[in-house]
Structure 1
């Protein structure tokens, strides 16, 4: 039997159904919200390092510092260029950085609306606080900013920690965990290790070498890190310590007496390969090619390196400024591999 219901009755039934559906949906949303972790309960990764708590002109005093870092942070500020490098290489982006110091080859690691966080040495605390970052990364030149920045957001120091490769492995692995890109981090490290091994095989057959830094028209010999151990020495020692270049002088630090070397020194020691870092180009004080002009003289032309076309100009920003990171390490490998051709 067919039953015809009044329109008013049908409307009442439909309205009741909508109300019940709405209550059900709202209840589900409330339940989901209740189950979702709050900011304080969000998953974190613990990071520890030895922080220097001594004053600028005092003997270093290290204190173990541990910080809980949020996983998958939405807004990261990085003063450490190798961190900008690695975050970008792992598929993340940096919300704030010392923008004037970010190299051209790392620009893609920046968010489209990235803000200027200051300089490599000084933070724009007002702007950073206004942006409310979830994580701040310092290191090297910016390590002294920890106290001020840690009051704004979790702040960690990813600067030099041991050798170049030890620092690289620690930082890439840690940032991979923070970004949820553990597999990508492991794969990148594997590729870089293979690249470094390939470069070392080339330098093993290349005879002696000497790394020099050109600045203000003068030359300084770069020494293996074991001759000093400070961060500047670690950077200078990359050629020997990481890539296995055989130093033309056993004790470069003693041989140079801590002074800039002369063109005559280059001829006297006569390395098979001369590896050149142009500091003035790295710091923006000179145009590309400045070091080549300094070395374009009759004395240098007599060296074995010059006569065999083995004066290698290294990427100054990668070797002097960034020091680390996935893309930068590949640049270092590519620079060393120039002598393979």
Structure 2
């Protein structure tokens, strides 16, 4: 296995280590408070932040934040970042405890406190704990303004290329934690695993990503240019893992996302890649995806007849996606079809 990451496409987001605090716009006061003195060693993180109001079209501004190296107390409201911090040997002091999957519990401090939910922070509790660093992403991105008044806050949301975002985030967190070598090795291993998975899907024919929730079906489409969050997540099976979409423009072909069982027979992909959303969210009394797809129409599809209905880990693909350990789970899911 390679021990150094192959260079990826140039990143639009910059990660750089610096030995002195500099004026950095948003979050500067909190940064100085956390770092203690102007000479404290820090790491700089820059990203494009949506500064538009909820009812306005997105408007992005470049935002740079200096965060202290080797922070003692980290609050994380993004499960992918919790994953990567733990995989690199760190631990998290605060998180949305009710949303942390079993396989990531080991990365919480023994006395970890509940920082809220994936969507809403417990501002009072977080402020009382006075963390050195706060990390948001995806569902919690809108919390930046409030949280940046407490401590240096960075947004590690998935933006554009999955592999580039993963490399950016792991590199940044590796610098923060003093685990640069571990981050480089993890990036190289994941890159190799994704390449192996893409080699398998290249010979697998067509596929359709399918989300099942509440007994209903939604077709997942490749991400559009610039997609973040939900749009990028839905396209991972194609964009990151190379599955050939069964139709050229899935979104257009479905007039949106909801589809019928007849649509599965009409498009008749070689593989169905299924995410059980209700299992991911723990919806009570929900019918399992396998039960929803157990009907006469689906049984007529090529995917069913060839035993090519692949059930993806719902927590990895719907809740966490983007962390080091989680990406390994995703690679293993895709590699189920090898052989």
TM range (shorter): 0.7 to 0.9
Deviation at 1:271, TM superposition (A): 0.9
* Residue segments in structure 1 that go unaligned for 5+ positions in a row: 1-36
Contact in 2 for aligned 1:135/1:154 (Cα 8 Å): yes
What secondary structure, in the 3-state scheme, does the structure 2 residue paired with 1:115 have?
Answer: strand
Residue 120 (structure 1) aligned with residue 98 (structure 2): no
Deviation at 1:259, TM superposition (A): 4.3
Contact in 2 for aligned 1:208/1:247 (Cα 8 Å): yes
Deviation at 1:228, TM superposition (A): 8.0
Match of 1:79 among 52, 77, 83: 77
How many residues get paired?
305
TM-score normalised per structure 1: 0.87
For residues 296-327 of structure 1, the C-alpha deviation after alignment (integer angstroms, 9 at most, x for no partner) is 00110111111111100101111111120100
Which one has a larger percent helix, Structure 1 or Structure 2?
1
The 2-side partners of 1:133 and 1:296 are apart by: 49
The 1-side partners of 2:39 and 2:287 are apart by: 53
What secondary structure, in the 3-state scheme, does the structure 1 residue paired with 2:146 have?
Answer: helix
Contact in 2 for aligned 1:135/1:153 (Cα 8 Å): yes
Deviation at 1:161, TM superposition (A): 2.3
Q: Which runs of 4+ in 1 moved over 6 A?
A: none
Residue 203 (structure 1) aligned with residue 207 (structure 2): no
The 1-side partners of 2:51 and 2:183 are apart by: 31
Match of 1:302 among 300, 303, 310: 300
The 2-side partners of 1:289 and 1:188 are apart by: 37
- Matched ranges for 1:120-159 at <5 A: 120-159=118-157
Contact in 1 for aligned 2:83/2:326 (Cα 8 Å): yes
The 2-side partners of 1:170 and 1:252 are apart by: 29
The alpha-carbon distance between structure 1 residues 287 and 308, as it changes in their structure 2 partners (threshold 3 A), is farther
Higher RCO (Cα < 8 Å, 6 or more apart): 2
The alpha-carbon distance between structure 1 residues 65 and 237, as it changes in their structure 2 partners (threshold 3 A), is same
In the alignment, which residue of structure 2 is the partner of 1:251? 249
Deviation at 1:283, TM superposition (A): 1.2
Q: What is the RMSD computed on CA atoms of the aligned residues? A: 1.5
Contact in 1 for aligned 2:70/2:177 (Cα 8 Å): yes
Contact in 2 for aligned 1:227/1:253 (Cα 8 Å): no
Pair member with larger Rg: 1
Match of 1:316 among 302, 314, 317: 314
